């Protein structure tokens, strides 16, 4: 038996589910605090967010908080794991009469030394989506450890779990498919081409929707978003990464990786 509450924050629906009734209020407080810290660090929609200082520095080093440093490191980790298919970097167009940047910067040009960040001139960073996935992981782990109960945290379409799970596992809906059983200390993310990723343009291509189950929300999101962008090569790439995944193409046809057939993602 578990209890749940939902609210809106950071442009997403937030859900918190716990296995102990008395833990729901404290869990909401812990999750809300983690959300607020992350949003203050990197939300491009907030004028006071720390990330604006990095984007305005244009080739100059900037000292940032531990929280923003962690979120930037997470985004760069996903970029490396996906060979740049999911990147936090956006190269600004040069003004008329100004030659374009050459060679064009990549995520590998972002340097983080302790809490000092150096991004090349002409680059803006948007870590909104990886930050939400990272925050779901951190919030679930924090609440599970502090409250010593089972916790599920959902931020938008990213779900992360911690602590012990309820009988029958965590039942999590996959859009257009129904619930799957998610074990504790696992995560799931669904990415669709009808979504806009942070401040980036919507993605179009082979796949309508990709759902990935992984050990944490950051990798579940990274794997699903990378698969959307990889097109025809997505299934083989997901198999190489040993990820449980379900893909729906533009014609409604469903493809799954071998690991999706396991009981926790059946």
Question: pLDDT digit of tens for each residue in the chain (266 aa)?
Answer: 789 999 999 999 999 999 999 999 999 999 999 999 999 999 999 999 999 999 999 999 999 999 999 999 999 999 999 999 999 997 555 556 656 656 788 999 999 998 899 999 989 999 999 999 999 999 999 999 999 999 999 999 999 999 998 987 899 999 888 899 998 889 999 999 764 444 444 455 789 999 999 999 999 999 999 999 999 899 999 999 999 999 999 999 999 999 997 545 54
What's residue 264's pLDDT? 54
Cα 179 to its chain centre, rounded Å, is: 20
User: For the residues of the chain, what is the DSSP string, one character each?
Assistant: --EEEEEEETTEEEEEEESSGGGHHHHHHHHHHHHHHHHHHH-TT-TT-THHHHHHHSSS-EE--HHHHHHHHHHHHHHHHTTTSS-SEEEPPPPTTSPPPSSPP-GGG-EEETTEEE--TTEEE--HHHHHHHHHHHHHHHHHHHHTS-EEEEETTEEEEESPPPTT-EEEEETTTEEEEE-TT-EEEEEETTS--TTSPPP-SSEEEEEEEESSHHHHHHHHHHHHHHGGGHHHHHHHTT-EEEEEETTS-EEE-GGGGSGGG-
What's domain 44-129's superfamily in CATH?
Answer: ApbE-like superfamily (1.10.3980.10)
User: Beta-carbon neighbour count of residue 261 at 10 Å?
Assistant: 10
Domains of the chain, residue spans: 3-32+130-265, 44-129
- Residue 45 makes CB contacts below 8 A (sequence gap 6+) with 11
What's residue 266's pLDDT? 42
- Fold type of domain 3-32+130-265: T-fold (3.10.520)
């Amino acid at each position: 038996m578990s209890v749940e509450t939902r609210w809106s924050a950071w442009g997403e629906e937030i859900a918190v589910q716990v296995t102990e009734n008395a833990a729901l209020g404290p869990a909401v407080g812990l999750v809300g605090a983690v959300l607020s810290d992350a949003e203050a660090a990197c939300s491009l929609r907030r004028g006071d967010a720390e990330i604006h200082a990095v984007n305005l520095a244009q080739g100059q080093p900037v000292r940032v908080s531990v929280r923003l440093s962690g979120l930037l490191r997470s985004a760069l980790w996903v970029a490396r794991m996906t060979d740049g298919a999911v990147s936090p970097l956006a190269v600004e167009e040069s003004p008329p009469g100004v030659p374009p940047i050459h060679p064009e910067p990549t995520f590998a040009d972002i340097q983080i030394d302790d809490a000092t960040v150096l991004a090349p001139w002409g680059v803006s960073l948007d870590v909104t989506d990886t930050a939400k996935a990272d925050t779901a992981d951190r919030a679930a782990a924090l609440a599970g450890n502090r409250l010593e109960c089972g916790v599920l945290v959902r931020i938008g379409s990213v779900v992360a779990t911690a602590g012990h799970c309820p009988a029958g596992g965590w039942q999590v809906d996959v859009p257009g498919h129904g619930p799957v059983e998610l074990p504790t200390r696992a995560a799931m993310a669904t990415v669709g081409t009808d979504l806009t990723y942070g401040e980036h343009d919507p993605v179009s291509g082979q796949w309508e929707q990709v759902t990935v189950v992984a050990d944490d929300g950051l990798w579940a999101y990274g794997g699903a978003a990378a698969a959307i962008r990889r097109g025809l090569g997505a299934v083989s790439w997901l198999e190489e990464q040993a990820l449980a995944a379900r893909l729906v193409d533009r014609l409604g046809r469903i493809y799954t990786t071998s690991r999706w057939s396991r009981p926790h993602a059946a």
